[in-house]
Amino acid sequence: HNLALIETRRQAAAARALAEESARRDLDQQVTSIQAEVLVEGSERKVRELETLVASLKASLGDAELRMAKSERQAGQMRAELGKLTAELAEEQWQHAGARARLEGVGLRADAASRRALSTTQSWKSERARAEAVLSRPEVADAEPRALFRSATSA
């Protein structure tokens, strides 16, 4: 009977050891399962965050593309305006050159007229000074104007 009891105890201890080992494995499996779930949840959260970021970046890219298209349209308009203004400037320069040439021609004529007027003015001043000198002489100052006129026309 002792042997049977020992054998039963040994079998019970072995069964307990197997049960503990099985419980340990189950516990380890549960821990691993929980850890896997935490990792999956973290990964899913990270995926959602990344999807949100991707959507935001796509929206930003769309906005940037719209701004770039607008900028390109404006640049095209500015190039067209520059071409128009350049053509207008060339026309203005051409007209300015013609006006300058006309003004230089007028200036040359004006210079010639100015020189003639200056020469005439100098001649008049010289004649006036000569006349004042003649009139200031005592013999002329007392003379009659008719006599002066006859002497000036006969000289």
pLDDT of the chain, 155 residues: tens digit per residue: 788 889 999 999 999 999 999 999 999 999 999 999 999 999 999 999 999 999 999 999 999 999 999 999 999 999 999 999 999 999 999 999 888 888 777 777 878 888 888 899 999 999 988 888 877 777 755 656 555 555 555 55
What are the backbone dihedrals phi and psi of residue 101, each rounded to the nearest 5 degrees, phi first? -65, -45
What is the C-alpha separation between 95 and 122, in angstroms, rounded? 39
Q: What is the pLDDT of residue 132?
A: 83
Task: Tell if the pTM clears 0.75, that is, is over it.
Answer: no
Dihedral sign (CA 55, 61, 64, 68)? negative
Longest Cα–Cα distance in the chain? 194
With residues binned 3-state (H G I as helix, E B as strand, rest as coil), the percentages for the chain, rounded to 5, are: 95, 0, 5
Q: What is the pLDDT of residue 130?
A: 86
Q: What is the pLDDT of residue 149?
A: 55
- Which tokens in the block code for residue 151? 């002497």
Q: What is the pLDDT of residue 150?
A: 56
What is the C-alpha separation between 68 and 66, in angstroms, rounded? 5
Whether residue 115 contacts residue 109, with contact meaning beta carbons closer than 8 Å, is answered with: no
Q: What is the pLDDT of residue 114?
A: 86
Q: What is the pLDDT of residue 146?
A: 57
Q: What is the pLDDT of residue 140?
A: 59
